[in-house]
């Protein structure tokens, strides 16, 4: 004999609470991420954006991106929700990637292939000058990081099939960087 009674569906209060919690945890509350835009004038683009690193107090975010058909370094002003120009940093026909920044965002270190091999570069946002730190080193380099005060740079170096950690000291006379001590952005036009 077949039982044709309707089954009553009942959710236990515990299940309702769990379901409510799960659905609420999917909200965007607390996120500052702007939407992706077509022309790449903000944080996210239609290209691949990667390797984000915050400044000490979180006012700046440096990252690399392959927007505009080139791999380059970008600096995002979190408070004002805009990109900060980095004149002279990104070079045509080469890749710049894996950035890091000092506590106040003055100094940026990154990998570039602009001189024919992978090298670690230091970029100063005040002078708009860059320096190749590994020009005379033989081997492949990757993953640079800079100390908060901007004096020390560490990176990985592969000389003969083994990755080693290197530390570069800019010296006691190097101008140091301190948390959030430089202006947000110089008044210049973007020319990455």
Averaged pLDDT for residues 47-58: 89
Q: Under DSSP, is residue 188 helix (H, G, I), strand (E, B) or coil?
A: coil
Contacts of 105 (CB under 8 A, 6+ apart): 55, 59, 60, 62, 75, 125, 180, 182
The class that CATH gives domain 34-169 is mainly beta
The pLDDT of residue 183 is above 60? no
Q: What is the pLDDT of residue 106?
A: 94
What is the per-residue pLDDT across 61-119, written as a single tens digit (0 to 9) for each?
A: 999 998 877 899 999 999 888 999 999 999 888 999 999 999 999 999 999 999 999 99
Partners of 73 in beta bridges: 64
Q: Which of 118, 164, 113 is nearest to 141 (CA)?
A: 118
Averaged pLDDT for residues 44-68: 88
């Amino acid at each position: 004999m077949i039982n044709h009674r309707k089954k009553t569906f009942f959710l236990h209060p515990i299940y309702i609470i769990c379901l409510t919690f799960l659905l609420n945890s999917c909200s965007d509350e607390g996120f500052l991420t702007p939407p992706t835009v077509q022309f790449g004038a903000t944080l996210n683009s239609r290209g691949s954006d990667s390797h984000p690193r915050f400044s000490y107090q979180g006012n700046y975010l440096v990252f690399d991106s392959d927007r505009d058909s080139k791999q380059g370094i970008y600096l995002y002003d979190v408070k004002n929700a805009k990109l900060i120009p980095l004149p002279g940093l990104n070079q045509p026909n080469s890749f710049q990637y894996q950035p890091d920044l000092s506590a106040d965002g003055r100094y940026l270190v990154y990998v570039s292939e602009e001189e024919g091999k992978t090298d670690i570069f230091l970029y100063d946002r005040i002078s708009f000058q860059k320096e190749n730190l590994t020009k005379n080193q033989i081997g492949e380099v990757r993953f640079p990081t800079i100390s908060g005060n901007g004096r020390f740079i560490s990176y990985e170096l592969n000389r003969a099939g083994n990755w080693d950690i290197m530390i570069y000291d800019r010296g006691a006379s190097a101008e140091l960087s301190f948390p959030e001590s430089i202006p947000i952005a110089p008044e210049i036009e973007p020319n990455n």
